[in-house]
Amino acid sequence: MKKRLIIFALAGAWLAAFVSAQGAQDLKSYESLKEPRIRQGVPPQKMLVVESKGNPNIKGKEAFGLLFKVFFSIQGARMAPPRARWLSPLDSPQDNWVGLYALPLPEQVAELSAGSEGARIEVWDYGDVAEILHLGPYSEETPTVQKLVKFIQDQGYAIAGPHEEEYLKGPGMAAGPADYWTIIRYQVKKK
């Protein structure tokens, strides 16, 4: 999970812009997510996406740079916490990883302007999801992920989509890694 620390440190200026644009987030509303939960019927979300192949410690700076550059060029787009989906298993060699770095888009955005090469619009399906809030450094997420996976199994579900993270509070928005807030999420389906 160290990879995201480096990625966000490199993209800190853009994340700081999120804080100043939106003001202090009321993160207290996420307190109940300290324990895993299943949310049913989560609607699809239109996303601005930049795909990055390779070690995220090397490729992440470019991916986030392009993502925020294109996002801030979109008329009417309102900043929300960034997300990432990891299409490769988290225990695979990082040189083989495929990551999708994303920001939610308003429904009325139908196309990107010139100069947006490397970014695309996708609709991320959700449906039923299992999620949990991880507090603290990315490098210490493993027990939180394991707790969520066990909860999914105990509730009679199976993971049906990639590992997703939503970064509520991270570099540029927190005093340090101990203060990071990350939602860890999986699409799920009944067994």
> What is the pLDDT, as a whole number, of residue 8?
47
Model-wide pTM > 0.75? yes
Task: State the residue range of the domain holding 126.
Answer: 2-190
> Are 91 and 145 within 8 A, CB to CB?
no
> What is the pLDDT, as a whole number, of residue 31?
83
> What is the pLDDT, as a whole number, of residue 5?
46
> What is the pLDDT, as a whole number, of residue 21?
41
> Are 158 and 118 within 8 A, CB to CB?
no
> What is the pLDDT, as a whole number, of residue 156?
98
Euclidean distance between CA atoms 76 and 104, whole angstroms: 12
Alpha-helix runs per DSSP H in the chain:
2-10, 12-22, 56-71, 142-154
CB atoms within 10 A of CB 89: 11
* Overall number of domains in the chain: 1
Give per-residue pLDDT as tens, 95-124: 998 999 999 999 999 999 888 999 999 999
The whole-number mean pLDDT for each consecutive block of 10 residues of the chain, a chain of 191 residues, reads 47 49 59 94 97 84 90 90 90 90 94 92 98 92 96 98 91 81 96 92
CATH number at residue 147: 3.20.80.10
